[in-house]
Chains A and B, each alone.
Chain A
Amino acid sequence: MSAITDERRPDDASVPDDATPPGGRQGRDALRQMGSPHRARNVKDVIARVVMWFCFFLAMIPLVWILWTVISKGAHLLGSMEWWTGNQRNINSDDAGGGARHAIEGTLQMVGMTALIAVPIGIFTAVYLVEYGRGKLARAISFTVDILSGVPSIVAALFIYAVWVTTFGLSRSGFAAALALVLLMIPVVVRSTEEMLKLVPNELREAAYALGVPKWVTVVKVVLRTAFSGIITGVLLGIARVMGETAPLLILAPYTKNFQRDLFNGNFPTLPMMINQDRGDFALATAAERMWAAALTLIILVLLLNIIGRVIAYFGSVKK
């Protein structure tokens, strides 16, 4: 370490003699004397590293523990074909096995619907806030998004229940749950898209304006295009985030063990609700094992989305 620090010194000395450094001659003498504090700095550096590594390991413990528990207790069910093709119809808590296809499909269908609604709203809001918004309205919207991102999922679910079921008299369904998830997903999409749009250098917008390109074309073809992979990554992370939400499902989308592809009528199968179902009979080894397997399946889905997000970010990012 000290060798590196020492190597910097000739740099100071290499200032040509006739050049007066900022602060005049006195300033340069002060620079010459700066060699000594590097030892103290190295000690601090080492301490900081040790503390950071320690905290990192502390944070890793629960993570590894969770993964280990879920994998060791649930992995073997995932090896069977039935798990990926079948459902839980006519399988009682004390029966072993069965499939999770109905819940996997249900979860994907529900978050798909959620994304379909939340992503355009979120992206348009972010575009408005970054590219157009000035003054009171923009501040009000930004504040609303802040509040929305702090709303607990169960409150979002109760709100949808109050509107959908109590006010409009419609029935609980997968779609109602998706609406609650929309409320949770919008702020995630808005904030991540906003960050990505802000990263687009202003020079690119000006370059487009200077070519006589109208503002909205600039926003669509230059700004959104430049930020595209970042926005997609944010969207996928947002989907992954709502995929495991359970409170809205408990309140709005009662579980069914059967295949159910209709989002608008009747009970709807999802992975979190399947976990919850088998947790009810946790004492039975057959149910417990299904519960862990469903949990592992959910983790894998979320992980896959994250990986896809990273891959898009990697390949879609601006190439040199």
Chain B
Amino acid sequence: MPLKKTINDSHSRWMDADGPAADIAISSRIRVARNLAGIPFPHLLDQKKAEDVIHAVRLAVIDKDVSSKVGNIELSLLSEMSPVERQILVDKHLISPELLSNFERKAVVLRDDEVISIMINEEDHLRIQCLIPGLQLQEAWDLINQVDDSLERTLDYAFSEKLGYLTACPTNVGTGMRASVMLHLPALKLIKQLGGVLNAISKVGLTVRGLFGEGTEALGDLFQISNQVTLGQSEEEIINNIVAVVSQIITQEQAARNALYKNRREVIEDLVYRAYGTLKYAHILSYEEAMRLFSELRLGIEMGLVSGVHARLLNELTVRIRPAFLTKLSGNEMLAHNRDVFRAELIRKEFSKLQ
């Protein structure tokens, strides 16, 4: 049942915009890679062996001890879902786009609140993810750590004293951990300081990506900051490093917002209310335009200029206006133009409910 709810509901816990520094830090995510000892990595497995891995994880997650510690979790095969349903899981950031290729061999474990998800047979046998709102990397790690410990009671991990957790790709070996924070940085962009800030990040061993990972545009002024190094640093060191850098960026963005408000208040207000008005009344909206308008309106919400719209709604809408969810809602494949019309209608309806 939880899977149906996950697919039918665009809402996910991370969208609640209620964590620390939530006016700039949208969400915090940690993923750890784990592999089973003595079994080749997923890319070398045939269908039968891949199913064995899924079976082993299934046995581990139905363990009573696991459910008592981890919560209400359920394993689903990717092959049980339609292409649209699979894509919705990607759009909600619960699985990576990579899990979609060769999906016959893959599975996902989801906790009912979607805070915990485990991808099975992605690049590694297990990729355990925790995704929560605001800047809460330590909390995310505590949760992952618990899930990891309880799975390890049943599963034998590929681990070496010297190199730590062994992964298919040498970029993940060691902690196997990728921690990231999603930041909303429109003011730094407006004052043309973004390039410098992002450049500095890459100099301290961190990576910047767009909303849907590497190689994607920074849609909606959203940036994912994550660690690059996984070997030779403890999980706590990795987290502390990111938190220190992210806190700096947050301070910069805050300063930029304050400066804009103080010196160019009419510019900010115009931007925000124009976006509000367009979203409320437009009849054709492309995904890119909607994401830009969301970013501008979000800035107004975060700065306290707009009341009556919650950032949670915008977070949910970013998933609902993606092609997959639109297809699901309309019950049909649509041409791009029709989709833009349908998207605008959906947003208009949501905004007309607001006071």
A binds B: no
Which B residues form the contact surface with A (CB < 8 A)? Answer: none
